[in-house]
């Protein structure tokens, strides 16, 4: 592909994740977006994942049992001359590690908030990760068809609780039974909610922001109140600032209802105009790789096993950072410095796995993996060796001793553990003295999924014994003396062979520090 053509293709890409607290409406909005993208699908298929009609794999039964979405998936569609990649993130907090890594692979994020509830804990956590990365964040206040909190309060909350400037693009005219539509200052129009005809109609605004056509809204108190508030915000609120939006310092705010499909298209149209195309990525040497660099490069942000029960496969999800992907291309795997041929690849046109046609910087490709890849791996073509910055590791807070129930089945036990650890599903430690396995997780659900998958995918029943230890602290190997291990801690190695102590509580950690004041312990965040 010529450089100019590559540039055009990259400019069309919009790659983002939707973040929200469970039940705010992420699934519903995703479905609406796919519909706008012309993805003809049975109504409710994204949704049906939850109820079990759309199981992608056996182990997802666990998510059906619990009624939560465990996995992230990738959906792609074309809309208005753009190629949109949506990276789904699980809402459940136990899966935050997976979610955080997914956020490393996007160029912007859409934050969906239930307008009756305001900002909830999980939204706040995910928001902070986006903010840390400085990626643009767009806000959709959902469920306006129900009674919502006063919009002024919702906008204030964004500023006070999240510490981000808010710029309302439109303003709700009432909510719930008296929801009449949106006063849209960005598009200079009023978008009328017409539930009876399942549609919307527009009334243009004149230069003064008044209704430019006769309408019953002109002397409707609810409309007048919304207009007053919008006027107040226009006078006293934040200025629209594209620079700030690009750096995640200001969030454009949209109102609507995903369920009745109102305000979603207005959001999508503006979002695709304002959201950034793929930008440069930094390497460990501090260099930047431009998306239009003719050499191909990308990194693995997620590995998922057995997505399709018919093919017992593993897929490594790669975010392309530069160049163009070509089937059968030879790349170098940075970690091993070894060549790999990329022949078996998929993309994600809304859940049908089509073979990749053109994939450029910004797109996500799925590589069928036989155990070559690890999370955080960089792959590239060309002579210039490179490694993208590492993905965040989260310090586990729950630990379990794990062993095979049946000692005759050690082989499948070890294979299962190795693969699931490589996938990033769970952390593995081995004790210094006896070489026993200890698993670490951020949340209990990770253990449940681990146990379930060990049995279902590797035919290995495991015994899990909870440890009271809650704090993991790494120690410089040069400072380590194995005698430091006592009844108050457990000395283990991580998968890289680095030593760390597992402490029961802060008291045990402080006791240790008191005894060895010169030893530096780190949480390795
Ligand atoms: P999530 O992926 O963020 O967890 O949320 P999801 O879309 O599954 O939505 C959670 C619930 O909120 C669903 O109801 C959904 O129908 C509802 N919902 C989503 N958007 C809106 C909206 O704009 N207005 C209203 N009133 N409700 C909305 P549920 O009772 O869990 O499922 P269902 O029985 O309705 O299918």
**Quick one: three-class SS letters along 22-54?**
CCCCHHHHHHHHHHHCCCCCCCCHHHHHHHCCC
Within a 10 A sphere around the Cβ of 355, how many other Cβ atoms? Answer: 9
* 484 DSSP assignment: G
Q: Which atom of ligand 1 is nearest to the CA of 142?
A: 23
Q: What is the pLDDT of residue 302?
A: 86
**How far apart are alpha carbons 7 and 244 in whole angstroms?**
24
Paired sense of beta strands 364-368 and 437-441, if any: unpaired
Closest atom of ligand 1 to 260 CA is 23
Compute and round to an integer the Cα radius of gyration of the chain: 25
**CA–centroid distance, residue 28 to ligand 1 (Å):** 6
Helix (H) or strand (E) holding 507: helix 506-515
Under 8 Å between Cβ of 159 and 250: no
7: tokens are 């540039």
Q: Are the CB atoms for 14 and 277 separated by under 8 Å?
A: yes
Ligand 1, atom 9, lies closest to the CA of: 25
Phi and psi angles of residue 338, each rounded to the nearest 5 degrees, phi first: -110, 150
Residue of 17, 22, 25, 121 to mutate, ligand 1, most atoms within 8 A of C-beta: 25
Nearest CA to ligand 1 atom 21: 259
Instruction: In whole angstroms, give the CA distance from residue 525 to residue 521.
Output: 12
- For residue 472 the two structure tokens come to 């993991």
CA distance 2 to 105: 25
The CA-CA-CA angle for residues 90, 467, 122, to 5°, reads 25
Measured by CA distance, the residue closest to atom 33 of ligand 1 is 47
Phi and psi at 454, nearest 5°, equal: -60, -40
Q: Which sign does the torsion angle of CA 286, 292, 296, 299 carry?
A: positive
User: Mind listing the pLDDT tens digit for each residue in 367-396?
Assistant: 888 778 888 899 999 999 999 987 776 778
Per the annotation, binding residues for GTP are 20-27, 88-92, 142-145
Residue 457 and residue 449 in contact, taking contact as beta carbons nearer than 8 Å: no
Point out which residues pair with 88 in neighbouring strands: 18
Q: Which of 321, 322, 302 shows the shortest CA–CA distance to 367?
A: 302
- Residue whose CA lies nearest to ligand 1 atom number 10: 23
pLDDT average per 10 residues of sequence, the chain (525 residues): 92 95 90 80 44 37 43 76 86 65 93 96 86 93 97 96 96 96 97 82 94 95 97 95 96 96 96 96 95 96 67 80 92 95 70 62 88 90 92 81 90 90 86 93 83 87 92 94 90 93 94 95 77
Residues 6+ apart with CB under 8 A from 41: 34, 35, 350, 351
Strand partners, 379: 298, 333
Kindly give the distance from the C-alpha atom of residue 424 to the centroid of ligand 1, in angstroms, as a whole number: 30
- Give the number of other Cβ atoms within 10 Å of residue 251's Cβ: 26
Q: Which residues of 323-470 form beta strands (DSSP E)?
A: 324-325, 329-333, 338-342, 345-346, 359-360, 364-368, 378-380, 398-404, 427-431, 437-441, 462-467
Q: Residue 475 forms beta bridges with which residues?
A: 521
Closest CA relative to residue 413, chosen from 364, 373, 464, 369: 464
3-state secondary structure of 78: strand
Q: Cβ distance 183 to 171 under 8 Å?
A: yes
Exposed/middle/buried for residue 470 (C-beta within 10 Å: 0-12, 13-18, 19+)? middle
To test the pocket of ligand 1, the residue of 259, 261, 267 to mutate (highest count of ligand atoms within 8 Å of its CB) is: 259
Cα–Cα distance measured from residue 456 to residue 172, given in angstroms and rounded to the nearest whole number: 49
Query: How many C-beta neighbours within 10 Å does residue 3 have?
Result: 10
> Which strand (E) or helix (H) includes residue 410?
helix 410-422
Question: Going by CA atoms, what residue is nearest to atom 4 of ligand 1?
Answer: 23
ipTM for the predicted complex comes to 0.97
| Ligand 1 centre distance from Cα of residue 119 (Å) | 16
Q: How far apart are CA 260 and CA 218, in angstroms?
A: 25
Is 136:44 a contact under the CB 8 Å cutoff? no
Residue nearest to atom 25 of ligand 1 (CA): 143
With a Cβ cut-off of 6 Å, ligand 1 is lined by 20, 22-28, 91, 142-143, 145-146, 257-259
Q: How many Cβ atoms sit within 10 Å of the Cβ of residue 511?
A: 16
- Within a 10 A sphere around the Cβ of 244, how many other Cβ atoms? 17
Residues placed in the known binding site: 20-27, 88-92, 142-145
- Give yes or no for a contact between 14 and 363, defined as CB atoms under 8 angstroms apart: no
Look at ligand 1, atom 16, and give the residue with the nearest C-alpha: 259
- Cα dihedral 514, 429, 379, 412, rounded to 10, equals 180
SS3 217: helix
Looking at residue 10, its pLDDT comes to 97
Question: Is the four-CA dihedral 334, 336, 342, 346 of positive or negative sign?
Answer: negative
Kindly give the number of the ligand 1 atom that is closest to the alpha carbon of 257: 23
């Amino acid at each position: 592909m010529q450089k100019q053509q590559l540039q055009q293709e990259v400019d069309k890409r919009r790659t983002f994740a939707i973040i929200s607290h469970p039940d705010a409406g992420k699934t519903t909005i995703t479905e609406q977006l796919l519909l706008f993208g012309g993805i003809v699908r049975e109504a409710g298929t994204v949704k049906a994942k939850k109820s079990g009609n759309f199981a992608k794999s056996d182990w997802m039964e666990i998510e059906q049992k619990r009624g939560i979405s465990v996995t992230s998936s990738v959906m792609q569609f074309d809309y208005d001359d753009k190629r949109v990649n949506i990276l789904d993130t699980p809402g459940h907090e136990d899966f935050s590690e997976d979610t955080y890594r997914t956020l490393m692979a996007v160029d912007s994020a859409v934050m969906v908030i239930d307008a009756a509830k305001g900002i909830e804990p999980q939204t706040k956590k995910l928001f902070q990760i986006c903010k840390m990365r400085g990626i643009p964040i767009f806000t959709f206040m959902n469920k306006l068809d129900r009674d919502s909190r006063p919009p002024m309060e919702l906008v204030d909350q964004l500023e006070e609780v999240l510490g981000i400037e808010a710029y309302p693009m439109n303003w709700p005219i009432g909510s719930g039974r008296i929801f009449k539509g949106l006063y849209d200052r960005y598009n200079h129009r009023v978008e009328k909610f017409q539930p009876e005809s399942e549609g919307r109609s527009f009334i243009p605004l004149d230069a003064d922001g008044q209704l430019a056509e006769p309408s019953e809204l002109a002397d409707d108190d609810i409309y007048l109140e919304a207009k007053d508030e919008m006027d107040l915000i226009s006078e006293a609120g934040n200025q629209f600032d594209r620079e700030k939006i690009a750096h995640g310092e200001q969030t454009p705010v949209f109102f609507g209802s995903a369920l009745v499909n109102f305000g979603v298209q207005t959001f999508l149209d503006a979002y695709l105009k304002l959201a950034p195309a793929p930008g440069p990525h930094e390497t460990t040497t501090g260099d930047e790789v431009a998306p239009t660099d003719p050499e191909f490069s990308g990194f693995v942000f997620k590995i998922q096993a057995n997505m399709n029960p018919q093919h017992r496969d593993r897929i490594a999800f790669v975010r392309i950072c530069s160049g163009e992907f070509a089937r059968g291309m030879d790349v170098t795997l940075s970690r091993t410095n070894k060549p790999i041929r990329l022949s078996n690849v998929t993309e994600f046109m809304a859940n049908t796995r089509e073979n990749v046609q053109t994939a450029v910087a910004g797109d996500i490709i799925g590589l069928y993996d036989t155990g070559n890849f690890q999370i955080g791996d960089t792959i590239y073509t060309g002579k210039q060796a490179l490694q993208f910055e590492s993905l965040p590791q989260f310090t586990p807070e729950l630990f379990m001793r794990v062993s095979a129930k049946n000692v005759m089945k050690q082989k499948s036990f070890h294979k299962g553990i190795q693969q699931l650890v490589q996938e990033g599903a769970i952390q593995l430690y081995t004790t210094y003295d006896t070489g026993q396995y200890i698993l670490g997780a951020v949340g209990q659900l990770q253990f449940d999924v681990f146990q379930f998958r060990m049995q279902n995918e590797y035919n290995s029943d495991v015994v899990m014994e909870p440890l009271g230890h809650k704090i993991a602290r790494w120690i410089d190997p040069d400072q380590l003396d194995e005698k430091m291990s006592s009844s108050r801690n457990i000395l283990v190695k991580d998968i890289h062979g680095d030593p760390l102590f597992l402490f029961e509580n802060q008291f045990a950690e402080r006791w240790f520090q008191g005894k060895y004041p010169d030893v530096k312990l780190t949480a390795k965040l």
